[in-house]
Amino acid sequence: MEFQQVVDRRRMIRNYAERPVDPGAIARALRNATRAPSAGFSQGWAFVLLDEPDDVGGYWEATTDPEQLAAPDAWLAGMMRAPVVVLPCSSKDAYLDRYAEPDKGVTNRDEGRWRVPYWHMDTAMAALLILQTVVDEGLGALFFGIPTERIDAVRRSFAIPDTHDPIGAITIGHLTDDAGLRGSPAHRRRVPLDELVHRGGWTQ
């Protein structure tokens, strides 16, 4: 697929066909994720891959009330059909350690100097590469948030160490004729470029 097609076709998919995906496509998406840029080449990311039905089920159990699981709404029903869930995790420690190395010359691990948490930013860039690769593979995906009050349960379920922070989750699966709920683009416009680009400075 042409790169421009990948960009134009990517949209979040909230409904999946109930069939497995080619493990090779998932492997490629994860490999591409590691081609993301990272500050100081810190590569402070890791990916929990859930591609067995029990593990995927475990994700939904960890993040959903039992009553909701028993009677899922349209969003949850469509999402639970995805055969793969990836949890991109960021590692702040990787950046604090990396920037304390001689070529960076920071002498302490003070977090205060990080105006922008590059560990989340770089992991998000890796997540976008997963989303784009999925489109190129003819599949669909959704990046979505893990409810804050469920993070501990997710950590416990998949033994995620304290050094790593799951920044969200990505479902991956086959498309159906009905891509499911359109989400916010159904009622919000895409902001036109001329409202976003400030050529030569922010003059108006």
Ligand X SMILES: Cc1cc2nc3c(=O)[nH]c(=O)nc-3n(C[C@H](O)[C@H](O)[C@H](O)COP(=O)(O)O)c2cc1C
161 touching ligand X, by CB under 6 A? no
**Which residue carries 């590692």 as its tokens?**
91
- Residues 101-140, one symbol each (x = binds ligand X by CB under 6 A, - = not), give ----------------------------------------
Rounded Cα distance, 32 and 169, in Å: 17
Can you tell me which of 145, 152, 156, 163 binds ligand X, judged by CB under 6 A?
145
184 touching ligand X, by CB under 6 A? yes
To ligand X, the closest distance from the beta carbon of 182 in angstroms equals 7
Ranges within 3-62 binding ligand X (CB under 6 A):
11-12, 14
Can you tell me which of 15, 185, 189, 204 binds ligand X, judged by CB under 6 A?
185
Rounded Cα distance, 142 and 16, in Å: 10
To ligand X, the closest distance from the beta carbon of 1 in angstroms equals 17
To ligand X, the closest distance from the beta carbon of 122 in angstroms equals 14
Which region among 26-34, 37-45, 86-94, 177-185 touches ligand X (by CB under 6 A)?
A: 177-185
Can you tell me which of 72, 143, 150, 157 binds ligand X, judged by CB under 6 A?
143
Q: Which residues bind ligand X (CB under 6 A)?
A: 11-12, 14, 142-145, 168, 183-185
